[in-house]
Amino acid sequence: MNYKLTYVNIWILIRDQILFDFTTLQNVDDWYEMSDTVRTEGKSKAILVLQTTELFQLAVFFTLLNPQPNGAGFAGVRTLTNLDLSQFKDIEITCRAKGQNEHYKIVLKHRGQNSHEDFSYEQFFTIPISDTEFSKIILPLKDFKPYYRGREITDGEPLDTANITMFEFQIYGGVYLPIKQRGVSALEIKMVKVS
């Protein structure tokens, strides 16, 4: 039985790849804010910090979302990457939400495209607000869709999963969407991996 357990553990390590393990990172200095303050009327704010205690460590994505009346507004943090995820199907995030909002998205860019004029590739998710339970959010890579300034581009080219060069956590106000959000929230994140 011990041999079987060892074999299964090795198979899991080969099948899965950890992208960000916030339980062991020394710092998050390579994450920077990208919020709606890049626009004249923007008023939202975001930061990613490590929370470290004697018992645990994780990342906290703090946001103050202050959108326009139509829901235009966002707060995010991103990091530049060099990821080939072409052999994987899903992004998996272990996290929990606190505060006023539970709707987030992951934003990716590819091939070094990082200007405001380039498409972003986005996938939305909802995470229940909880003081205790962490959830595993699974986002299929095939479901990331091209967006330009908040609007889906139905005829845009697909995400190049072999050349992902930016990864972002974002909370959104809800422009062009039935969901509207505002206020103070936190997403506590243990780990991001692909499988």
Question: What tens digit of pLDDT does each residue of 64-83 get?
Answer: 999 998 899 999 999 999 99
Number of neighbours of residue 51 by Cβ within 10 angstroms: 12
* Both structure tokens of 14: 């080969």
Measured torsion, CA atoms of residues 30, 34, 38, 41, in degrees rounded to the nearest 10: -140
Q: Mean per-residue pLDDT for 45-68?
A: 96
Lowest mean pLDDT: which of 30-44, 60-74, 117-131?
30-44
* Both structure tokens of 32: 């920077």
Q: How far is CA 177 from CA 13, 98, 134, 183, in A?
A: 39, 22, 26, 17
9/99 Cα distance (integer angstroms): 36
Place of tokens 């074999």: 7
DSSP states of the chain: -HHHHHHHHHHHHHH-EEEEETTT-S--TT-EE--GGGSTT---EEEEEEEE-SS-EEEEEEEEE---TTS--EEEEEEEEEE--TT--EEEEEEEEEES--EEEEEEEETT--STTS-EEEEEEE--B-SS--EEEEEEGGG-EEEETTEE-TTPPPP-TT-EEEEEEEEE--TTSS----EEEEEEEEEEEE-
Mean residue pLDDT of the chain comes to 91
Q: Mean per-residue pLDDT for 33-41?
A: 81
Question: What tens digit of pLDDT does each residue of 7-23 get?
Answer: 444 444 447 899 999 99
The pTM of the full predicted model, rounded to 2 decimals, is 0.89
* Phi, psi dihedral angles at 23 (to 5 degrees): -80, -15
Positive or negative torsion for Cα 175, 181, 141, 163: positive
Question: What tens digit of pLDDT does each residue of 147-176 get?
Answer: 998 899 999 999 999 999 999 999 999 999
